[in-house]
Amino acid sequence: MSVEDTRMRDKLRALAGAELVERLDFLERRQQRRLPDAPLPVPAVDDRLDADVIFGGGGLSLLIAAELAGRGISVLVFERARAGTAHREWNASRSELQVLVDRGLLDEATLAEMIVASYKDGFCRFHGGKADHVVAGVLDQAIDAGALAAHVRAVAEARGVRFVDGVSVDGLGPGEYGVRVRAKRLGEIPLADQGKPGKDAVFAQGKLFVDARGASSPYATADLLCPTVGGVLRGLPEGDGPKRWRRDVGEILVTTEGIVDGVQHVWEGFPGRDGELTTYLFYYAKAAKLAGRPRLLALYTRFFETLPSYKDGDPTLVRPTFGYIPGWSRLTRPAAPPHPRVALVGDAAARQSPLTFCGFGAMLRSFVGAADALEKGLTTGQLPPSIVDDAEVHAGTGPLAALMADSGMQGDALNHLLDDAFGALADAGNETYASLLQDRMGRAAFRAFVLQTAGRHPRVYADVFTSLGLVDALRWGAKVTTGFGWKS
Ligand SMILES: Cc1cc2nc3c(=O)[nH]c(=O)nc-3n(C[C@H](O)[C@H](O)[C@H](O)COP(=O)(O)OP(=O)(O)OC[C@H]3O[C@@H](n4cnc5c(N)ncnc54)[C@H](O)[C@@H]3O)c2cc1C
């Protein structure tokens, strides 16, 4: 460990306690040492079919498992920790949440109980910008993610889904019925059982495997990564003014400084239960640049040190949340499964918006379609390369995210560009603005948005060429203007 690392650890320990530092170290070790799944030989004799569909990971993607079970399909979930536990807070609009009711996962009353806060609107604000860019009807319902995850697990169990908690999937291979999966038991294995065949691992045979291991999946190879830290804060004073917060307003993207050491940091603030503000600090990054380089420790230290530039007060961090969210620029190869009987979903697939990284909204849009594809795959024996929703506007926003990840800009240059871009969106009206953040925008509207931005910020062309390089800039321009490759 370098002197700088030790200094940083000591600093964060003093700011937030030793336990947080330990948890960060644990996540970083796991993330940096992701191993490919071990290839498994087909067993000589094994005539047991454990489930039609086997899931590795029982996080947000449990929605797909519950939906499949509702159709009478047998499902087995291997989960490293406990399936149906969420350590994050999730936001979406009321209309996006309706699918949970429509698919019988919740009734209206239960959904209403799980909405811990509703906002009249939200805004994006950039350092040195001309205005707050206000939008209504987007990310405006804050959900009790823990309660939702536990509820979905209970529904899934009632529909017959079987859960094996405390096992880590680490092997995958062909099986008599399609796939064979191995999961290593975690935690204590009794001394008497250590080394005995089958005691430290469980095997299962299924027809299809769903990789729902999130950012830990060995197939989560998308080219962007969003290191995110923060959590639920208490004790920040409410009120008007740039450093106060209002319980009926969501803060979607806020910057309080320019680019520092090549990185543009961004804040988010979403009111939750009374007096609580879920606050994140994150940045866009190229995955290759972060490989082998743990970043969350430094980011958390920065979170505490620069929080006063975002909000007044002396808050307490009541629930820390942190991690890496994968994203895909659509300029490189997508994350892809290793076999036609394997599907990537959620963060492993990284088809959510590379601009907002809203995995929750993306899963709400995806889980029914993903279940359709899996149900079909049970009959045909093969799955398409992607079974989750990939909104067409990501062909436009992906390269913008890549630009923000590695802009080569200095100072407030990116803030000025973002301020002009969001100003153009706000001027185009709430529906246009909301449609971009909710991944509903079509190519014509995106093209108009780019032209409006360029009208306000002519430097954008030079910025795009400098950051993306000639080939990618031309490819992106062609997609936006001619539509060629827009839906690929
Ligand atoms: C700090 C942070 C804040 C976020 N905030 C928001 C937000 O406000 N809004 C939003 O929309 N999205 C947010 N996201 C993103 C969102 O939470 C994810 O997109 C979403 O959870 C992805 O769902 P998933 O099922 O793919 O993965 P996860 O929900 O991460 O679940 C993966 C599961 O797989 C398990 N697992 C991992 N490896 C193995 C293995 N080898 N074997 C067995 N099980 C395994 C894990 O224990 C976990 O339970 C946030 C992410 C982070 C990190």
Percentage with pLDDT > 90 across the chain: 76
| pLDDT at residue 190 in the model | 58
Please, which pLDDT band fits residue 478 given cuts at 50, 70 and 90?
Answer: confident
- Measured in Å, residue 440 CA sits from the centre of ligand 1 at 23
Determine contact, residues 125/254, Cβ cutoff 8 Å: yes
Asked whether the beta carbons of 173 and 39 are under 8 A apart, the reply is yes
**Ligand 1 center–CA 347 separation, angstroms:** 7
Q: Which residue has the tokens 């797909």?
A: 64
In short, whether 61's Cβ falls inside 6 Å of ligand 1 is yes
Each residue of 121-137: pLDDT tens digit?
Answer: 999 999 999 999 999 99
Q: Tens digits of per-residue pLDDT, 62-121?
A: 999 999 999 999 999 999 999 999 888 899 999 999 999 999 999 999 999 999 999 999
C-beta neighbour count of 1 within 10 angstroms: 7
What pLDDT, on a 0 to 100 scale, did the predictor assign at position 102? 98
228 lines ligand 1 (CB under 6 A): yes
Report residue 253 as tokens: 């993207």
Q: For residue 120, how far is its CA from the centre of ligand 1 (angstroms)?
A: 28
Output the CA 215–ligand 1 centroid distance in Å. Answer: 7
Work out the angle at residue 234's Cα, subtended by the Cα atoms of residues 229 and 235, and round it to the nearest 5 degrees.
Answer: 125
Ligand 1 contacts CB of residue 250 (under 6 A):
no
Atom of ligand 1 nearest to the CA of 358: 11
State the DSSP code for 393. Answer: T
Q: Which region, left, alpha or beta, applies to residue 95 given φ > 0 means left and ψ of -120 to 50 means alpha?
A: alpha
Least confidently predicted of 8-12, 96-100, 451-455: 8-12
pLDDT digits (tens, 9 = 90+) for 307-329: 999 999 999 999 999 999 999 99
In this structure, of 176-185, 206-215, 338-347, the range with the lowest mean pLDDT score is 176-185
Half-sphere exposure in the Cβ direction for 222 (13 Å, CA): 32
Would you state the pLDDT for residue 314? 92
Please report which confidence band the pLDDT of residue 189 belongs to, taking 50, 70 and 90 as the band edges.
Answer: low
Write out pLDDT tens, residues 258-279. Answer: 999 999 999 999 999 989 999 9
Q: Whose CA is nearest to atom 42 of ligand 1?
A: 168
Q: Which atom of ligand 1 is nearest to the CA of 346?
A: 26
Q: In the prediction, which pLDDT does 467 show?
A: 84
Does residue 223 register a pLDDT over 70? yes
Phi, psi (5° rounding) for residue 230?
145, -135
For residue 324, give the ligand 1 atom closest to its CA: 53
Q: Is the pLDDT of residue 41 over 80?
A: no
Q: How far is the CA of 468 from the centre of ligand 1 (A)?
A: 29
Ligand 1 atom closest to the CA of 213, numbered from 1:
34
CB 225 within 8 Å of CB 325: yes
Does 34 have pLDDT greater than 90?
Answer: no
Minimum-distance ligand 1 atom for the alpha carbon of 170 = 41
**What pLDDT score does 301 carry?**
94
Q: Which residue has the tokens 């539509």?
A: 483
CA–CA separation, 179 and 174 (whole Å): 5
> Which pLDDT score is estimated for 45?
58
Q: Is the pLDDT of residue 482 over 90?
A: no
Distance 323 CA to ligand 1 centre (A): 8
Q: Over the Cα atoms of the chain, what is R_g?
A: 23
SS (H, E, C) 62-75: HHHHHHHHHCCCCE
Across-strand partners of 280?
A: 230, 268
Instruction: Judge whether residue 194 has pLDDT over 60.
Output: no
Q: What is the pLDDT of residue 488?
A: 56
Question: Which residue bears the tokens 């005995």?
Answer: 196
Give the 3-state secondary structure of 180-222: EEEEEECCCCCHHHCCCCCCCEEEEEEEEEEECCHHHCCCCCC
Within 13 Å, how many C-alpha atoms sit on residue 464's CB side? 21
What is the separation, in whole angstroms, between the first and last Cα of the chain?
44
Buried b (16+ CB within 10 A) or exposed e, 222-237: bbbbbbbbbbbbbebe
CA distance 352 to 228: 16
Whole-number pLDDT of residue 205: 94
Q: What element of type H or E holds 110?
A: helix 108-114
289-303, pLDDT tens digit by residue?
988 788 999 999 999
Average pLDDT of the chain to the nearest whole number: 92
pLDDT tens digits along 356-387: 999 999 999 999 999 999 999 999 999 999 99
- In this structure, are residues 349 and 221 in contact, taking their beta carbons and an 8 Å threshold? no
CA atoms of 223 and 203, how far apart (whole Å): 32
Which residues, 6 or more positions from 109, have their beta carbon under 8 angstroms from its beta carbon? none
Q: What are phi and psi of 124, to 5 degrees?
A: -115, 135
Per-residue confidence (pLDDT) for residue 476, from 0 to 100: 87
Residue 347 has pLDDT above 90, yes or no: yes
Sequence-distant (≥ 6) Cβ neighbours of residue 486 within 8 angstroms: 392, 395, 396, 443, 479, 480
Residue with CA closest to ligand 1 atom 6: 90
Structural domains of the chain sorted by starting position, each given as residue range(s) with its CATH number in brackets = 3-32+116-144+221-327 (3.30.9)
Q: Distance between CA 289 and CA 75 in Å, rounded? A: 38
In this prediction, residue 236 has a pLDDT band, given cuts at 50, 70 and 90, of: very high
Token digits of residue 84: 């149906």
Residue nearest to atom 15 of ligand 1 (CA): 359
Give me ligand 1 centre to Cα 197, in Å.
32
Q: Tell me, using a 6 A CB cutoff, whether residue 315 lines ligand 1.
A: no
Cβ neighbours of 445 (radius 10 Å) = 18
Element (H, E) at 169: strand 167-174
Distances (CA, A) of 37 to 337, 340, 387: 12, 16, 21
What span, in angstroms and rounded, lies between the C-alpha atoms of 62 and 81? 14
Residue that is written with structure tokens 């871009």 in the block? 421
Write the single-letter amino acid at 215. A
pLDDT band at 40 (very low <50, low <70, confident <90, very high): confident
Q: Whose CA is nearest to atom 51 of ligand 1?
A: 325
